[in-house]
Structure 1
Amino acid sequence: MSVFDDAFESTVKLEGAYSNHDGARGGATAYGITEAVARKEGYTGAMSELPLETAKAIYRDRYWKPLRLEAVAEVSQPIALKLFDTGVNMGIGTAAGFLQRTLNALNRLGSDYPDISVDGVIGPKTVTALVSFINKRKPQGETVMLKAISSLQGARYIEIAESREQNEAFVFDWLANRV
């Protein structure tokens, strides 16, 4: 089984098969994929009948590949899994930005590696910084990185609930299951 397969299974387990909660901005979702995204990807059927393999292809093309998570997984599979789930739940730019912000905050004033642009795109400089970080900080670095990304994610969930009252219906589960 590939790292992508592990990430997909983990995220789909959290997302569930089909949902159409009144307070959800995305409306009907299947495996965490909104109807709008499914339509953009060419799916025309009922969301309650979205095939799991179609969902998997969408996840690979819209989240895994754009986040360059194969490259991240070569450095740290747990970080790749975290970024994938964060990207699915919050958007790929947000997930990449969380990694970039954390790398900049943890580079000891640039003595371990230079600051990188927080542009929401994981490119070669971000991957190089991650490699340097893990090499310098070893296994504890991976643990701290995961905690930092989770901290940013948790804070973002609170902000989302504060900005849209209907999201209070979801924030408990988001915090319980994703942070």
Structure 2
Amino acid sequence: MKLVAAEAGLQPTKINLFSCYTKRVRANLHAVITMSPIGEIFRTRLRQFSALVKCCTIDWFSEWPNEALESVALRMLQNMSDLEVNKETLKALVQMCIDMHQSVVRNTELFKHELNRHNYVTPTSFLELLTVLLNCILTVFSKIYGIKKQEIITARNRTHTGLDKLLHWCVNMTLHTPCLV
């Protein structure tokens, strides 16, 4: 700090050094604080710490465009490798999630207009929807899928066993037919 104070043309006293230090911190320190704008907690924080509004740059993020919703849904739902989901089914699931989210957004606006009450739908709400859907698919549907797959395997094995017995019977009949004539 002594070199910085000397470059600024100041004597290296404690007050000047601390002043230079404070100026450098203000110029170079960057902090990111993230808060959800929903609810009373955000308003309370703004009242308690008024410098958040006065001295900070606030970036408000609006709702995600369809491309972002699709990208996030596709990335999260691709983890369903246990179910052997094809691309068409995956695309339909992604579109269903997007439609559900947009429907909730539209109905929230209607709710606000008709009842003058706020219900906030954020990108976090979309992520929660995807998480619930993924958990539902991986638990309930994977059990159903496993049961149906086992039923198909059992039916296939029975069919193979029946065909083997018919083949064995046909071979035996062709061998014994000349004896009967």
TM-score band by shorter chain is under 0.3
Q: Quick check: which one's helix share is greater?
A: 2
Q: Which has the higher contact order (CA 8 A, sep 6+)?
A: 1
Larger Rg: 2
TM-score where L is the length of structure 1? 0.26
